[in-house]
Structure formats: C-alpha cells, structure tokens
Amino acid sequence: MATVKVKFRKSSVEGKAGTIYYQLCHKQSNKQITTQMYVLPQWWDAEKETLISEADNSGLSARYQRQIEKDLQCIRGILCEWDGTGKDYTLADVITRFRTLNEGGGNLLSCLTGLINELKNDGQWGNARNLQRALNSFSNFLKGLDLPLNQVDEKLIMEYEQWLRARKVSKNSSSFYMRTLRSAYNKMVSRNQLEQTFPFQNVYTGVERTRKRAVHEDIMVRLQNLDLVHSTPLAFSRDLFIFSYCTRGMSFVDIAYLKKEDISGRMLSYVRHKTGQRLNIRIEPCIAEIIKRYEPSVRNSPYLFPIITSYDSEEAFRQYQTALGYHNRKLKKLGNLVGENLHLSSYTARHSWATVARNHNVPLPIISAGMGHTSEKTTGIYLDSIENSLIDKANEDILEALCRDVSK
C-alpha cells in the first residue's frame, strides 16, 4: 500500500516562506503534490511534520491544518479504495484522481475580484464598490494569502467575525461584510464553482438600530430660510437636502441621476437605484422652486441637477461618490448654522420625512409606499391597494409649511 507524508520545502531565499507538500511513496517510487500553503521555516516542526501554532499565525496555521487533514483524508480514501479492489495503479494515477476530486473552481480572492469586474461591466458600480470593500477586509484577515474555494467553511467565517470583533468593527459593518460575501459565495455556488456548506449560518447578518437621524419639521423650515448668498456650495447642499425631504426622502444617488426626461407635467417619475422600483411623485411648489433654481446650471445637460456631468457610466459613478462625500461635509456645516449643532447627513432627510409623516398620523403602509420600501412582506401586502393620490395627499400635508413659505 502507498504511503503519504506531509513535508516542508524551504524557500531558496533566506527568510522567505516555504511550501508545504505531500510526499507519496509506492512500489519504490516517490512523487510530490505541491500545495498553495506557504509558511515561514520557524512555523514548521520537521520532526513531527506538523505546523507550529504561534500568536502571530494561529488563524493561518489552523486553516492550513484543516486543509491538510482534508487532503490527507482524500488521498488515503483513494488509496484504500484502490487497494481494497486490487486495482493496479501508479502514483501519477493517485495524483490525477486527487486533483480531480479537489478542483475548487479557483481561489477565493481571485474569484471575488472576477465578480467585481463582472459587476463593473454590468454597470452595477454600487454593488462592485460594496464587494470591493468586503474583499479588502477579508484579504486583510487572510494577510493577503489566497485560499482555494473549498477552504471556505463555517469555521473560517466565524474566525473572520472574531477577527473583526477584535478590531472593534461595529456589528453593522461586520454584518455588511458578511452579507456581501455571502451573496458572492452563493453566486459561486450557483455556478457550480463550489459545494454549498452554508458557512455564514452562524455569524451575525442582521442590522442593529442606530441613533435616530430625524429632525423636526420646524428645522426644515429654518434650513430653507437660511441666508446662504455668501456660499453657493452650502446653498446647493441645503437645496438638495430640502429637495430630498420634499420628495418623500429621495436618496442622494437617485437625486444625482435624475434626468429632465423624468418630469412629465406635474409628475416626477424615477426608478430607485437600490430596489429598481419605480416611484411617482407629484411636484409640489417647494419641489418646483428648487428645480427651477438650477435650470441655468444644467441647460446643456440631460440631468436635473449639476452633480453628474460625464456620459461615461464609470466616471459618472465616481462623480456621484465624490459629490456625496462633499454634500455630507456641507450638511455638517449647515447643522451648525441652524444653531442646534445638528448632525445632518444625506440620510437625515429620508428619516425626517418618515418621522414627520408618522407624527401627522399617516398610516404605516402609506409611509412605506411613499418611500418605496419593498423589503417587508407585511408592508407589501398593503401596497397593492394604495392609491398614489393618497400618498400625494399625505406629502401635500407634510409640505404645507414649506410650500406656504415659497408662496409668500
């Protein structure tokens, strides 16, 4: 019967990581299976032919040890099967069989990079950015070392979660990475690149409630009445913030991509970037006033506001990202100008509209429909029967104070 041992080959460069390999012996013949596991010489116990776990390599050595055990189990399984049936085989046959059984569809980090490129090619810049962030975090956890896809298991993912926790990454950020990586993992499973083992089932993938961002409606009126003739950038951010509130909490990305063709008569119709849902909003006086204010700035542009100028989709997304960061910095200054030391952000307008709507006794299903929520099943049951006129009436009541101020 053939035998298999785990060996370590030092690098030809002093101090560099060497390679773990498997040595097979059979009928006075010797062959090797080289792995993609690289360790420093001081991490290898040559006498015991095993990894040495230290403080600075405990996670890596644990993952490598699990992989070694899986590989040895596979090789010994092949040998037992063929020896049991009396099959006449060579070590080349064993190696070929081993590699066939362990084809994992590639390495993890390289496959994730491939998915990112696919998303970019499809124009899904936001999803590509999210996956890139998750990949950067996971790559740091792996210390830049790539892993075969078949090494992605529950223990690895739980170790990653512990690594994030040790670095005081918030639960919501950790959950964001997990949900993003899980989505990529499931896509690779659907392509038969690896077998589904549900490695994310015991890590946190929920969303913790954060501090409320809503402001009272009188703050919105005070913002609208600020004299900002001294600062065009502040005035622009203020107007976009008010516009978001007036349009039932339209997100900044949707505002940035609004086009003139989205307006028909007194209606503004757009598709939410986040959900793909089409929303129709009646243009109230305060909305029309802001749109009119920026008509000269976009005279030769298809867009409604001077945020995006490029016709190239990738460059347009970069312009949106840059504008969002700049917008949030200006909103912080506006919060101080109001005199309340408010922590305003692009999300505040959306949360504020929902809170004010609730304070006006607007039913939850109408609030959900007005904001384009589609994730809650219970809300979805009510949405089909809601007339858009009811949503417009609710918005009209909420914007009464602002529209009255515009009409003066």
At 380 the pLDDT is 32
36-50, 106-120, 253-267, 362-376: the lowest-pLDDT one: 362-376
Q: Strands (DSSP E) along 10-113, which ranges? A: 18-26, 29-39, 44-45, 50-51
Predicted confidence at residue 386, as pLDDT, reads: 47
Name, of 5-19, 55-69, 70-84, 220-234, the range with top average pLDDT.
Answer: 220-234
Q: Is the pLDDT reported for residue 81 higher than 90?
A: no
- Whether 202 and 155 have beta carbons less than 8 Å apart is answered as no
For 25, residues 6+ apart whose C-beta sits below 8 A from its C-beta are 2, 3, 4, 5, 91
Q: What percent of the chain is predicted at pLDDT more than 90?
A: 42
Structure confidence at residue 405 (pLDDT)? 73
Q: Determine the Cα–Cα distance for residues 188 and 172; give it in Å rounded to an integer.
A: 24
By percentage, how much of the chain surpasses pLDDT 70? Answer: 91
Q: Return the pLDDT at 379.
A: 30
Is 378's pLDDT higher than 50?
Answer: no
Instruction: Return the pLDDT at 163.
Output: 95
What does the alpha-carbon distance between residue 317 and residue 334 come to, in Å, rounded to a whole number?
25
- Give mean pLDDT, residues 219-246: 93
**How confident is residue 374, by pLDDT bands cut at 50, 70 and 90?**
low
* Spatial contact of 240 and 228, defined as CB atoms under 8 Å apart: no
Biggest alpha carbon–alpha carbon distance for the chain: 99
Which of 1-15, 38-52, 85-99, 218-232 has the highest average model confidence (pLDDT)? Answer: 218-232
DSSP 107: B
CA distance 253 to 356: 22
User: How far apart are alpha carbons 107 and 227 in whole angstroms?
Assistant: 57
* pLDDT tens readout for residues 87-96: 888 998 888 8
Q: What is the pLDDT of residue 27?
A: 85
Q: Is the pLDDT of residue 262 over 90?
A: yes
Mean pLDDT of 196-208: 89
Question: What pLDDT score does 369 carry?
Answer: 74
pLDDT category of residue 382 using cuts at 50, 70 and 90 = very low
Q: Say whether pLDDT at 104 is over 70.
A: no
Q: How many C-beta atoms lie closer than 10 Å to residue 292's C-beta?
A: 9
Burial of residue 174, with CB atoms counted within 10 A of its CB: 0-12 exposed, 13-18 middle, 19 or more buried: buried
At residue 340, the pLDDT reads 67
Tokens of 78: 């092949």
Q: Average pLDDT of 57-85?
A: 83
Residue 60 pLDDT exceeds 80: no
Given this model, what pLDDT does residue 298 score? 95
Residue 228 has pLDDT above 80, yes or no: yes
The pLDDT, as a whole number, for residue 304 is 96
pLDDT for the residue 389: 60
In the numeric block, the tokens 């390495």 are attached to 107
* pLDDT, average across residues 264-280: 89
Q: What is the mean pLDDT of residues 55-63?
A: 74
Encoded tokens for 274:
């986040």
Among residues 361, 360, 256, which one has the least CA distance to residue 305?
A: 256
Q: Residue 232: which H helix or E strand, with range?
A: helix 232-246
**Residues 313, 325, 183, 110: is their CA dihedral positive or negative?**
positive
Q: Measured between alpha carbons, how far is 127 from 141 in angstroms, rounded to an integer?
A: 21
Of 205, 124, 131, give the one whose Cα is nearest residue 164. Answer: 205
Question: Please, are residues 380 and 364 in contact by the beta-carbon 8 Å criterion?
Answer: no
pLDDT at residue 253, as a whole number:
94
Q: Is 256 left (phi over 0), alpha (psi -120 to 50) or beta?
A: alpha
- With a threshold of 0.75, does the pTM exceed it? no
* Predicted confidence band of residue 384 (pLDDT cuts 50, 70, 90): very low
Q: What is the mean pLDDT of the chain?
A: 85
C-alpha distance from residue 196 to each of 133, 152, 156, 192, 228 (Å): 24, 10, 15, 9, 57
Residue 278, helix vs strand vs coil: strand
Q: Pick the residue with more confidence: 49 or 243?
A: 243
What's the rounded Cα separation, in Å, for the pair 148 and 304? Answer: 48
385 confidence band (pLDDT: 50, 70, 90): very low
